[in-house]
A and B are shown apart, each in its own frame.
Chain A
Amino acid sequence: MRSFWRALRRNQLALAGGVVVVFVAVLAILAPVIAPMDPNRPDVKKILDSPSSRHPLGTDQLGRDVLARMLYGARVSLAVGFVSVGIATLIGIALGSAAGYHGGTIDAMVMRLVDLMLVFPRFFLLLAVLGFLRPSIWTIMAVIGLTGWMSVARLVRAEFLSLREREFVLWSQSIGASAFRIIWRHILPNAIAPVLVAITLGIPAAILAESGLSFLGLGVQPPHATWGNILSEGKDAIEIGWWLSVYPGLAILVTVLSYNLLGEGIRDALDPRLRQSVGRIVSRRR
């Protein structure tokens, strides 16, 4: 563990990423305290005002303060990222460990399911499911989670395949421990490193997916601000209000970039061996 921290500290890019990740999270949590004004209060006298000392990032079509909306938007974007990746991780661990531990038919079935999910371009699948449901923040979280568990399942399975042959597993089996107990108490703690990396790299992917959906107007619905739907309003004001488009996009870019840098840093620090295999599987977008 100590060597992990030492390795991570040496990686300045990853550290910078980590600092930004924490910073954005603090901003999101403290949004009600630091936001200069109510994100949803319209002001007809200040429609599409360019950035000024009173509105550092300008105002939108309804005269709402963009900075305040972005701070509140950070809460939604991060919440969607965390919850949906949580869902994806749980599903991925459950299916991946079952497949890797039992092998045989279960393994074949789970892997076929993974293949099947990967045959659908993720964004088309997201849109199709949302086309049948009423959009709300909860359906967005669930749908992004349900379409994003495949890489975790693959990673966990791969770890289990090698770990299940080890002596400590054979020993637990020989004294009659149940499969669930062996998986949960003995193998999973040893397989957690790649999962951690997958989570750190999954969050930015989920944030990108959410902002893309919200941009199309099919994600989180107004008046709730998210980075994606502020951009969507920005598109309608592209001729006059450049600040509506520039800043939320920069926020997404910087946040996603920081999570990616942190995730790669954690991966290298945990185990240099993982460098290629995890990257190959996880870093595919959408």
Chain B
Amino acid sequence: MLPYALRRLILALPLLVGITLISFFLMHLAPGEPVDISNPDATTTADREGRERLIQAYGLDKPIHVQYWNWLTRIVRLDFGRSFAPDARPVLQKIRERLPITLALNVAEMMIIVMLAIPIGVISATRQYSRFDKVTTVFVFVGFATPDFWLALMLMILFGVQLGWLPISGLRSPTWEYLSFWRQQWDFLSHLILPILVATFGGLASFSRYMRQSMLEVVRQDYIQSARAKGLAEPVVIGKHALRNALLPIVTILGLSLPGLIGGSVIIESIFAIPGMGQLMVQAVYERDYPVIMGNLVIVALLTLGANLIADLTYSLVDPRIRVAARRSRR
């Protein structure tokens, strides 16, 4: 186990360096290089100002290797400087406020997706081509094709505007402070229902598809035949022998689908006005707040890298074959 874990860690090192390189070169894309005095329109002036602040903040007037070294030493300390916004607070502080919200939402979504997708996938695989299977297949295709922001709008119109059952923005009502304790909890939960519903929709589609596929492959294996042959009841064959094996690849897919979920929170947080990382990112892009953009990007990439590593290690922990065969079969 330990050598395998070490090897995965060493393989992750170039990715770590890559993250710093990509974000470093991104910084150099900032417009405003040719100082064109004959064109005094507002956006170019703003661009030039932004670039000058960037040059100051990150020493972009120094030789390129010095620049990169500076950047690297800052990233190691997770120091992304101060926001360009008028409040000029440290970027890390801004991210730290918002990260827990995004993480909590994504973990909740992930748990709901897994809890629903596993039974759906198992049932549609064990009853292939049944009516249930066909209905879920349609749901999967529609789920893949539905733009999440549109689904959000539709639910907002239906439940928020037409029926008036659920709040459509923020995490708390303006009257939060005057509510009783239980009312407060319900208020908070009701703000979460629509965003989580939207976020789980697409993920549920792909996950139940993977689960079905994985289960279909396992059910055809010889050891399932022998489990049946020795007279085990069908629920035991499916629920114990087949399910455990079908769940193995799901661990990796969980890790791989994390970037998609986090990416989805950009749109969901901006629509529902939830103060998380995604909303911070969109605001930073609107305001050309370069340090916040860079900080967000690096943090999100580091999180994904970490999650993938954990998924890899968990996979090898639950499936010893991986540790042996890893060198040949992976990638």
Contact = CB atoms under 8 A, between A and B. Distances in A.
B29 A121 contact: no
Contacts of B266: 123-124, 127, 216
A234 B213 contact: no
Interface residues of A, number: 53
Contacts of A245: 150, 153-154, 157
B119 to A, nearest CB: 21
B157 A116 contact: no
B304 interface: yes
B31 A212 contact: no
Interface residues of B, number: 63
A171 interface: no
A211 interface: yes
Contacts of B145: 204, 252-254, 256-257, 260
Given A212-B267, A253-B150, A286-B263, A116 B18 contact: yes
Interface stretch (B124-132, B185-193, B283-291): B283-291
A235 interface: yes
B237 interface: no
Given A212-B149, A257-B141, A285-B144, A119 B308 contact: yes
A9 interface: no
Interface stretch (A67-75, A131-139, A185-193): A131-139
B161 A239 contact: yes
A72 B213 CA distance: 40
A216 B267 contact: yes
Interface string B303-315: 0110010000000
Contact of A253 (B22, B29, B146, B286): B146
B100 interface: no
Nearest to B308: A119
Interface in B1-26: 14-15, 18-19, 22-23, 26
Contacts of B210: 280
A179 interface: no
B167 interface: no
Given A215-B267, A260-B141, A283-B144, A121 B260 contact: yes
Contacts of A246: 154
A132 B256 contact: no
A115 B263 contact: no
B169 to A, nearest CB: 11
B196 interface: no
Contacts of B281: 124, 127-128
B146 A128 contact: no
A273 to B, nearest CB: 14
Interface in A195-239: 204, 208, 211-212, 215-218, 231, 234-235, 238-239
Identify which of B31, B142, B145 gathers the most chain A CB atoms within 10 Å of its CB: B145
A133 B144 CA distance: 30
A115 B161 contact: no
Interface stretch (B74-82, B109-117, B238-246, B293-301): B293-301
Contacts of A204: 145
B284 A249 contact: no
Interface string B27-41: 101110000000000
Given A116-B18, A124-B266, A124-B300, A212 B147 contact: yes
Interface of B: 14-15, 18-19, 22-23, 26-27, 29-31, 43, 47, 141-142, 144-151, 153-154, 156-157, 160-161, 202, 206, 209-210, 213, 217, 256-257, 259-260, 262-264, 266-267, 270-271, 281-282, 284-286, 288, 290, 293-294, 296-297, 300-301, 304-305, 308, 331
